[in-house]
Amino acid sequence: MKKFAVLLSGAGVFDGSELHEAVLTLLSLTQAGVSYQCFAPNIEQMHVVNHLTGEVAVGEHRNVLVESARIARGDIKATDELDIQAFDGLVIPGGFGAAKNLCNFAVVGSECEVAPSVQTFIGEFVEANKPVGFICISPVMIPKLYGEKAKGTIGHDSETAHAFNLMGGEHVDANVEQIVVDEGRKLVSTPAYMLAENIAQAHIGIDKLVKKVIELA
């Protein structure tokens, strides 16, 4: 049985992993007969957002690993616990946590850097030539991880696509139900809630992405 890692970035669309995307990823992997292990960096969130009001909760602090454990029902490991030989590939759900905690794209755009522990974690999959699927906003990390001309999509938001290209990537416009595949790099991306208007729409692209990364493995 193939086994995939799933990298989470907290719990909640505005400051962590997008919950629907994360759960749909786990569902698609399971339905495809693949086992998974959730991971998250053991670092502090950039900030905490009150999801009822949309406002930053000043003075509140949360840990990305601890919050991600909510989604994984407690079965989660820190990124530095990765044994790359145990995994066939990786999937990274979106949510603003991907652009705030896994990297700092939300703050500095094309000048962003991937968090060191995350760079090391994803880098192991890249170096081992194992497939990685990026969902929603998480593809903004692709150029920093894969270098010049790596292909990916965040949908068709022109500002984010421009930043992707500025970082050296090759952005490909896509609709919500589509995936973009960089075959040579075993790299797959889909817009999900960058474009999805409901959970059913998000599911279409995510399920295609999961099936493709499994095929590439």
CATH code at position 64: 3.40.50.880
Mean pLDDT, the chain, rounded, equals: 97
* Cα–Cα distance, 117 to 56 (Å, whole number): 25
| CA-to-CA dists, residue 40 to 117, 141, 176, angstroms | 9, 16, 26
pLDDT attached to residue 63? 98
Structure tokens at 167: 């970082």
Summarize pLDDT for 67-113 with one digit per residue, the tens: 999 999 999 999 999 999 999 999 999 999 999 999 999 999 999 99
Q: What's the one-letter identity of residue 146?
A: Y
Structure tokens at 60: 């509140």
Summarize pLDDT for 23-60 with one digit per residue, the tens: 999 999 999 999 999 999 999 999 999 999 999 999 99
Residues 6+ apart with CB under 8 A from 173: 153, 155, 156, 161
Give the gyration radius of the chain's Cα atoms. 15
Q: Which domain holds residue 130?
A: 3-216
Counting beta carbons within 10 angstroms of the beta carbon of residue 111, is it exposed (0 to 12), middle (13 to 18) or buried (19 or more)?
A: exposed
pLDDT attached to residue 2? 97
pLDDT attached to residue 70? 98
How many structural domains is the chain composed of?
Answer: 1
pLDDT attached to residue 138? 98
Catalytically active residues, by annotation: 136
